[in-house]
Chains A and B, each alone.
Chain A
């Protein structure tokens, strides 16, 4: 069966000065799947995402989104939640969500309507005019996710989306991600949380020191490692001396 891909990375290499961060990385993400992109801190996950989204220029290789190099003109199809994230602290959340909708291709009226709808969906309609800085941590995360999905993107790239979330908000966020996948969106989930990966992802890639260590369907990966849980596989890969 032919599977249509939305992300294709081929022989990607990234160097910062003399230091090689990513070495000969190739993978693809299928349309409509939740793809787990794993690795320890400093493995090169964020660098790969930034290169994929054309924020950084790769040293070598090709990184394609929907068959072409990503450019801001494709913003309408992308929802990106970076690892280091935040929003305008002193602006009303409704204004911020509207602005991010507009920056992702919506017109101002449509963006505002969708922002209000989203705030209602996550029980923040009463705080539409509240400044971002006055919200609780969990509420801020909801708004942050809203700014990523308000335009209903075809590709969601979420870098550590559940970091610092309490269990309730974490469940809510993962539910929203699943809803998007169910509507046909593709999700790249960059995370350390292997339980989330087991729960949500069809396929995974584990990056170790800039090199692809594991890549494939979750069930196939488990089989490959003798039926062990993903957590054990991840730990064994990162034990001292493992290669």
Chain B
């Protein structure tokens, strides 16, 4: 154990001293914050510009209509200073000549024919609002007409603007918000996939570096291959925990300080996320199990190759399996017991992500969880001796890649 601790100490400290590690740790949250910030500012700017433009347009635009449907309210048209055209051809000609900014045609059968808009081009941002203006005019006309027969103000308001909806759903007699339930276990899945990709380079270089530097042979006289491999695995896990902390701790602190400010899509407040202990335990088990499995596998595979470049090309194929289950998310949500989902749940390379996804959507039964976790643990127990043998024999092969058969057959 002492040797393992020494390997972990050396590997972790030297990695923490590298700028690249901190760059990859801080880059994802910073990029995410930057994108959210830019998106927010852009939306706000676009919204304001759009509103200003629409207001200006309403004041200056010259619009005419031809109403064969009979649904447009004449007073409303007059109040908006919207003229009437005698036929479609004159309306289109007026737009083409520049006399009108827009000509709106409402046919007799609006349900089938729809509204036709002929308008001067105003650029990609503004031109589509002719369409909404046309629909809005029709809607307000109908509401104005109906309003004569309705005395209830609230009913009128609802006609003009649908009310907000707040849903409370129940499962097993208890209040159950499916979206909110997904947040906490889903975070483990996001962390798992993030850490696998962030640490992939460290995983690959952890053994190839010692092979490239020609230090592996000396180290093998100081510690057993299995000890060194455990040291590598625990180093990467420690670094993974540091990276998760870098992402998670600021978020947790923010939540503690401003619990009501963050709201997810669907109106779920982060301060009110339900924490289901069973789901969280499974999520933690699959997060740790999956991370150890991929780390061990990559450490072992990396030791087969003469250098990190060659290893990287091959290992990309192995790593991508962690992401493959993302492509069957709709199937996992709608049909969690479909054969493909079952295969992915028990196939070692896809099991961690699939189980984390199933757990996130609340479709992972205890039997499936135990079975999938057993597959991952069995895979780890095979991957560790493989990694140790690969490191031991790969360390002596500086110029070529070892084959799987060669690793198992050597004595």
Contact = CB atoms under 8 A, between A and B. Distances in A.
Interface of A: 50, 53-57, 70, 72, 75, 78, 80-82, 84-89, 91, 95, 99-100, 102-104, 108, 147-148
Interface stretch (B119-127, B149-157, B213-221, B364-372): B213-221
Interface of B: 3, 6, 9-10, 14, 209, 212-215, 217-224, 227, 392, 396, 398, 410-411
For the complex, would chain B's binding face be called helix, strand, loop or mixed by DSSP majority? helix
Nearest to A148: B218
Contact of A85 (B218, B221, B392): B218
24 contacts: A50-B217, A53-B221, A55-B221, A70-B221, A72-B220, A72-B221, A75-B222, A75-B223, A78-B221, A80-B217, A82-B214, A82-B218, A84-B217, A85-B214, A85-B215, A85-B217, A86-B215, A88-B14, A99-B6, A100-B218, A100-B222, A102-B6, A103-B6, A103-B223
Contacts of B214: 82, 84-86
Contacts of A72: 3, 220-224, 227
Contacts of A70: 221
Contacts of B227: 72
B3 A103 contact: yes
Given A82-B218, A88-B14, A100-B218, 19 more contacts: A50-B217, A50-B396, A55-B220, A55-B221, A72-B221, A72-B222, A72-B224, A75-B221, A85-B215, A85-B217, A86-B212, A89-B213, A91-B14, A100-B222, A102-B6, A103-B6, A103-B222, A103-B223, A104-B222
Given A57-B411, A72-B227, A80 B14 contact: no
A196 B392 CA distance: 32
Contacts of A87: 213, 215
Contacts of B14: 88, 91, 95
A179 B242 CA distance: 46
A84 B218 contact: no
A88 B213 contact: yes
Nearest to B218: A80
